[in-house]
């Protein structure tokens, strides 16, 4: 392959500006150094592999290929790296506006943090959680939601049933499970109505599905829910703090690992380069952006299926892949950080965790900084509430958040010192989060197209992961896998 020098190779600009991470002043060290300037128009630049998207999947794939001696370029539509992870700032602290937690079993993300020197700390769980479901408000300690004796037993039974099914469903190919057609013919809601009798159990499950899939039980295939649990080693790890996916946080945020990986890749990451078209021929692929075209032997597309569908493919994608893209909408989510002078809820013996069907906002968690004595909460509008609130004025949303928090923490909640939010559902390059949520019928009819390469096009991204689908860890795994497969073809 000719190794043409591009303008981006020759003219480094401030990495911080180039990555669009100006918000993160205290993290400047992580993002300083040389970076790609906008690439020039003109003839296609040649690489071995073109990677589309600079989220964790794309950056991981590119680093792995580079380590194997391959020439790569990462084309990112946005003016920053990180994708569904993003830096924000609240009360002077750099926080995650997107993905943030890591838990046991998420070995790839934990290994990456260690490699990149990012420290972790435990999610604060001291004191009592509040659960307010079906008119019954309870403060309780530990991981088992206190729903009352009957509903607690039924809830455990329901979780047990999902876990038993998850043990029989291969996370990589749920459509091959013997009962796949039956599970995929119903929504989570219809399964719940048939398998839980008590209103409190049903409501709790609806709230939890919202919290872990950012969608309503009535929207999502039950097979997709079981497969999601299978990829996480069960349903309990998804919903738990201690021992689960919400156990641990990164000091300074998860986003900084994307920044560090991009820093490592240097000029190979090109920002503001939305891929408009991918054409393949016998010898390779031509990937066209507003900044010109790149030529590679293979392309790895890491955008989630609904976003990958916006690229123009020549020749056209197979009908099964196109059908899949039309049936993998992203969930709806708005993430909010609230900062207070001090974590006053701790003085009331509360952990900060609230899950309620009386509020639109929630669940929320204590997210207080490790130093300085300030108090913070982080929480979500998920699923239906995110749909309802995404297009409302920001001031109305903020007022709603404060009112909801005050319902449980008192008047002090009405006076935060700072507030930050990200409306992912309206973000033009993400169009939602945390993950794609297939409706009934999608996986059994179109699922095989999720990972199947199309000629020289290979698919990655958390949606394609063999474990921890929907999570940063899954994104990393998918990037590693794609790099291994494509690397083997070169």
Spatial separation of the C-alpha atoms in residues 205 and 199, rounded to whole Å: 10
Q: Which alpha helices (DSSP H) does 40-148 contain, by range?
A: 56-67, 107-116
CA atoms within 13 A on the CB side of 260: 16
Query: For residues 100 and 203, which CB has a smaller minimum distance to ligand FAD in the complex?
Result: 100
Do 224 and 329 contact (CB within 8 A), yes or no?
A: no
Structure tokens at 283: 């010898």
Nearest residue to the partner ligand FAD, using Cβ = 83
Structure tokens at 456: 């020289």
CA atoms within 13 A on the CB side of 223: 26
Sign of CA pseudo-dihedral 86, 87, 90, 93: positive
Structure tokens at 424: 């992912």
Report which DSSP code applies to 42. Answer: S
Binding-site size for ligand FAD (CB under 6 A) equals 40
Binding string, 65-84, against ligand FAD, x = CB under 6 A?
----------xxxx----xx
Spatial separation of the C-alpha atoms in residues 308 and 487, rounded to whole Å: 22
Binding string, 268-287, against ligand FAD, x = CB under 6 A?
------xx------------
Q: Which of 174, 252, 296, 304 binds ligand FAD (CB under 6 A)?
A: 304
Report which DSSP code applies to 214. Answer: S
- Kindly state the smallest distance separating residue 150's Cβ from ligand FAD, in Å: 32
Chain residues 174-213 in contact with ligand FAD, contact rule CB under 6 A: none
Chain residues 395-414 in contact with ligand FAD, contact rule CB under 6 A: none
- Kindly state the smallest distance separating residue 412's Cβ from ligand FAD, in Å: 26
Chain residues 321-340 in contact with ligand FAD, contact rule CB under 6 A: 333, 335
Q: Which helix (H) or strand (E) holds 319?
A: helix 319-326
Among 135-143, 368-376, 431-439, 445-453, the segment contacting ligand FAD (CB under 6 A): 431-439
Among 114-122, 133-141, 411-419, 423-431, the segment contacting ligand FAD (CB under 6 A): 423-431
Spatial separation of the C-alpha atoms in residues 41 and 188, rounded to whole Å: 49
* Residue 302 found at the interface with ligand FAD (CB under 6 A): yes
Q: Which of 18, 49, 52, 65 binds ligand FAD (CB under 6 A)?
A: 52
Query: For residues 235 and 434, which CB has a smaller minimum distance to ligand FAD in the complex?
Result: 434
- Residue numbers at the binding site for ligand FAD (CB under 6 A): 52-58, 75-78, 83-85, 98-101, 274-275, 302-304, 307, 311, 333, 335, 424, 429-430, 433-435, 461-462, 470-473, 475
């Amino acid at each position: 392959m000719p190794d043409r020098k591009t303008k981006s190779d020759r003219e480094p600009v401030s990495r911080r500006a180039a990555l669009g991470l100006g918000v993160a002043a205290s993290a400047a060290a992580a993002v300083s150094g040389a970076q790609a300037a906008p690439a020039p128009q003109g003839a296609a630049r040649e690489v071995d592999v073109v990677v589309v998207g600079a989220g964790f999947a794309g950056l991981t794939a590119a680093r792995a290929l580079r380590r194997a001696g391959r020439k790569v370029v990462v084309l990112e539509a946005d003016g920053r790296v990180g994708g569904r992870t993003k830096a924000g700032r609240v009360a002077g602290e750099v926080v995650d506006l997107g993905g943030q937690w890591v838990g046991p079993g998420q070995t790839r993300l934990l290994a990456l943090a260690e490699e990149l020197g990012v420290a972790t700390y435990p999610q604060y769980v001291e004191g009592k959680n509040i659960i307010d479901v079906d008119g019954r408000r309870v403060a309780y300690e530990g991981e088992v939601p206190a729903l009352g004796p009957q509903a607690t037993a039924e809830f455990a039974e329901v979780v047990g049933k999902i876990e038993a099914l998850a043990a029989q469903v291969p996370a990589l190919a749920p459509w091959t499970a013997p009962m796949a057609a039956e599970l995929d013919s119903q929504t989570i809601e219809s399964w719940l109505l048939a398998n839980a009798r008590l209103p409190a159990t049903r409501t709790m499950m609806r709230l939890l599905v919202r919290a872990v899939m950012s969608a309503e039980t009535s929207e999502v295939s039950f097979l997709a829910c079981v497969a999601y649990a299978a990829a996480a080693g069960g349903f309990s790890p998804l919903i738990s703090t201690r021992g689960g996916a919400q156990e641990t946080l990164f000091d300074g945020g998860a986003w900084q690992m994307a920044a560090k990986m991009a820093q490592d890749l240097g000029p190979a990451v090109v920002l503001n380069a939305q891929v408009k078209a991918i054409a393949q021929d016998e010898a390779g692929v031509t990937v066209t952006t507003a900044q010109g075209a790149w030529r590679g032997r293979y392309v790895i597309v890491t955008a989630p299926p609904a976003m990958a569908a916006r690229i123009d493919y020549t020749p056209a994608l197979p009908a099964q892949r196109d059908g899949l893209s039309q049936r993998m909408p992203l969930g709806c989510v708005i993430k909010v950080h609230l900062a207070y002078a001090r974590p006053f809820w701790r003085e009331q013996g509360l952990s900060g965790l609230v899950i309620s069907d009386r509020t639109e906002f929630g669940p929320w968690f204590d997210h207080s900084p490790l130093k300085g004595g300030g108090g913070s909460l982080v929480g979500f509008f998920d699923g239906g509430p995110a749909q309802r609130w995404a297009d409302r004025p920001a001031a109305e949303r903020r007022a709603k958040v404060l009112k909801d928090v005050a319902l449980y923490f008192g008047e002090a909640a009405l006076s935060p010192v700072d507030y930050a939010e990200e409306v992912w559902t309206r973000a033009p390059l993400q169009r939602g989060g945390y993950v794609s949520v297939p409706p009934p019928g999608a996986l059994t009819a179109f699922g095989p197209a999720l990972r199947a390469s199309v000629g020289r096009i290979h698919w990655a991204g958390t949606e394609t992961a063999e474990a921890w689908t929907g999570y940063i860890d899954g994104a990393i795994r998918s990037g590693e896998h794609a790099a291994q497969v494509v690397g083997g073809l070169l």
